[in-house]
Amino acid sequence: MLSYLKSLFLTFNQSFNLEKKKGTIILLGLDNAGKTTFLHRLCTSLTGTTKAAFAPTEQPTSHQFQAEDVTFTGWDLGGQEAVRHLWAEHTFDADGILFLVDADGGDDGRLEEARDELDALICGDDGDSLRGVPLAIMLNKCDLVTASKSEFIAERIGYEEVVGCHGEKNVRMFRMSVIKEEGYQEALRWIAESL
């Protein structure tokens, strides 16, 4: 009888969408792209143009936050070259990946480096484990006057190749500003809809 009531309760919650959805988001990108600041902003709702400086992430850290009626666990895996080999190990249970790219200035060397990392992650051997996982490429720091155009960045990071490897419905690009709290809400909504 108890198991029947439990089952009935769960069915009722799911039918009326009363049960909170949960998801895991992995934040990736090169160092200084804004991953740690972004995750901190999602968790603490910093306001205005407050600029907080955070030390580079040296080991994977996670925090929970609410967005789009979903309780997300966000993982910041760091972006320094020495820790990037850990990315593939931690993405296997992701419900979404946010790959942050520093849009400020269009440094071709850094964009090529981001391209290499995206290619290895999505199109390489480890990409099979991410099939079907939404990948939001987040062009951060777009509030700056020196920010590059989306088309320029897309070409430099091999956006079309990533779409070819991962599937058109699984990849989106978003312009954002962590500091101004703009642009990322749509990406979180897109990932939430896939849960």
- Select from 184, 162, 167, 166 the least CA-distant residue to 175: 184
Assigned domain for 1 exists = no
Q: How many CB atoms lie within 10 A of CB 59?
A: 9
Assigned domain for 7 exists = no
Task: Round to whole Å and give the CA distance between 51 and 57.
Answer: 17
Mean pLDDT (the chain, rounded): 85
Contact 194, 132 (CB under 8 A): no
Assigned domain for 8 exists = no
Assigned domain for 14 exists = no
Task: Round to whole Å and give the CA distance between 182 and 45.
Answer: 12
Q: Residue 102: which CATH number?
A: 3.40.50.300
- In tens, the pLDDT along 39-87 reads 988 887 644 444 555 656 666 888 899 998 999 999 999 888 888 888 8
- In tens, the pLDDT along 111-152 reads 999 999 999 999 887 677 788 899 999 999 999 999 999 999
Could you tell me the CA-to-CA distances from 58 to 73, 77, 117 in Å, in that order? 18, 8, 18
DSSP state of 169: G
Contact 102, 179 (CB under 8 A): no
**Burial of 151 by CB count in 10 Å (0-12 exposed, 13-18 middle, 19+ buried)?**
exposed
Assigned domain for 6 exists = no
Assigned domain for 2 exists = no
3-state secondary structure 85-109: HHHHHHCCCCCEEEEEEECECCCHH
**Which structural domain range is residue 135 located in?**
20-193
The torsion defined by the Cα of 125, 130, 135 and 138, in degrees rounded to 10, comes to: -60
Assigned domain for 11 exists = no
183 has a pLDDT exceeding 80: yes
Contacts of 10 (CB under 8 A, 6+ apart): 19
Assigned domain for 98 exists = yes
How many folded domains does the chain comprise? 1
pTM, two decimals, is 0.84
